[in-house]
Amino acid sequence: MATKTSPAARAGRNNTPGYRCAECGWTTAKWVGRCGECQAWGTVEETGQVLARTTAATAVTTPARRIADVDATLSGYQPTRIDELDRVLGGGLVPGAVILLAGEPGVGKSTLLLDVAARVARLGKNVLYVTGEESAAQVKLRADRIDAVADSLYLSAETDLGQALGQVEKVDPALLVVDSVQTLSSAAVDGSAGGVTQVREVAASLIGAAKARGMTTLLVGHVTKDGSIAGPRLLEHLVDVVCQFEGERHSRLRLLRAVKNRYGPTDEVGCFDLTDSGIEGLADPSGLFVSRTKDPVSGTCITVTLEGRRPLLAEVQALLAESPNSQPRRATSGLDSSRVAMLLAVLQSRASVSLHKDDSYVATVGGVRLTEPATDLAVALAIASAKTDQPLAARLVAFGEVGLAGEVRPVPGIGRRIQEAQRLGFTHAIVPASPAGTGPVPKGFSVREVSTLAEALALLF
309-362 confidence digits (pLDDT tens): 889 999 999 999 999 988 999 999 999 999 999 999 999 999 999 998 999 999
The predicted structure's pLDDT at residue 48 = 60
> Sorting pLDDT into bands at 50, 70 and 90, what band is 409?
very high
The average pLDDT across 398-427 equals 94
Return the number of other C-beta atoms located less than 10 Å from residue 176's C-beta. 25
> Sorting pLDDT into bands at 50, 70 and 90, what band is 86?
very high
228/341: higher pLDDT: 341
Would you say 316 and 370 are in contact if contact means Cβ atoms under 8 Å apart? yes
The neighbouring-strand residues paired with 216 are: 175
The average pLDDT across 113-136 equals 95
CA dist 186 and 166 (Å) reads: 13
The predicted structure's pLDDT at residue 127 = 97
Residue 214, pLDDT > 80, answer yes
Would you say 380 and 409 are in contact if contact means Cβ atoms under 8 Å apart? no
The predicted structure's pLDDT at residue 2 = 45
Residue 461, pLDDT > 90, answer no
Q: Is 208 annotated as a binding residue?
A: no
Which stretch of DSSP H or E encloses residue 456?
helix 453-460
Residue 29, pLDDT > 70, answer yes
The average pLDDT across 83-98 equals 93
The predicted structure's pLDDT at residue 95 = 94
Residue 4, pLDDT > 80, answer no
> Sorting pLDDT into bands at 50, 70 and 90, what band is 451?
very high
The average pLDDT across 387-403 equals 95
Residue 7, pLDDT > 60, answer no
Q: Is 108 annotated as a binding residue?
A: yes
Of 69-83, 84-98, 305-319, 397-411, the poorest mean pLDDT is in 69-83
Radius of gyration of the chain (CA): 28
Residue 21, pLDDT > 50, answer yes
The predicted structure's pLDDT at residue 136 = 93
Q: How many helices (H) and strands (E) does the chain have?
A: 11, 21
Residue 16, pLDDT > 70, answer no
CA dist 35 and 367 (Å) reads: 37
**All structural domains of the chain with their residue ranges:** 73-283, 288-459
Would you say 453 and 406 are in contact if contact means Cβ atoms under 8 Å apart? yes
CATH homologous superfamily of 73-283 equals P-loop containing nucleotide triphosphate hydrolases (3.40.50.300)
% of the chain exceeding 90 in pLDDT = 59
Which residues, including other chains, have CB under 8 Å from residue 198's CB and lie 6 or more apart?
Answer: 184, 185, 186, 189, 191, 192
Residue 10, pLDDT > 50, answer no
Q: Report cis status (omega within 30 of 0) of the bond before 180.
A: yes
> Sorting pLDDT into bands at 50, 70 and 90, what band is 9?
very low
Identify the CATH number of the domain defined by range 288-459: 3.30.230.10
Q: Is 103 annotated as a binding residue?
A: yes
The predicted structure's pLDDT at residue 152 = 96
Q: Is 349 annotated as a binding residue?
A: no
Q: Is 95 annotated as a binding residue?
A: no
Output the average pLDDT for the chain: 88
CA dist 143 and 101 (Å) reads: 19
The predicted structure's pLDDT at residue 12 = 43
> Sorting pLDDT into bands at 50, 70 and 90, what band is 53?
low
SS (H, E, C) 64-80: CCCHHHCCHHHHCCECC
Residue 293, pLDDT > 80, answer no
The predicted structure's pLDDT at residue 383 = 97
Q: Is 110 annotated as a binding residue?
A: yes
3/217: higher pLDDT: 217
Q: Is 107 annotated as a binding residue?
A: yes
Q: Is 202 annotated as a binding residue?
A: no
> Sorting pLDDT into bands at 50, 70 and 90, what band is 110?
very high
CA-wise closest residue to 398 among 375, 415, 416: 375
Residue 11, pLDDT > 50, answer no
What region, left, alpha or beta, does residue 141 occupy, with left being phi > 0 and alpha being psi -120 to 50 degrees? alpha
Strand 269-275 to 278-281 pairing: antiparallel
Which stretch of DSSP H or E encloses residue 255?
strand 253-261
The average pLDDT across 421-426 equals 91
pTM: 0.76
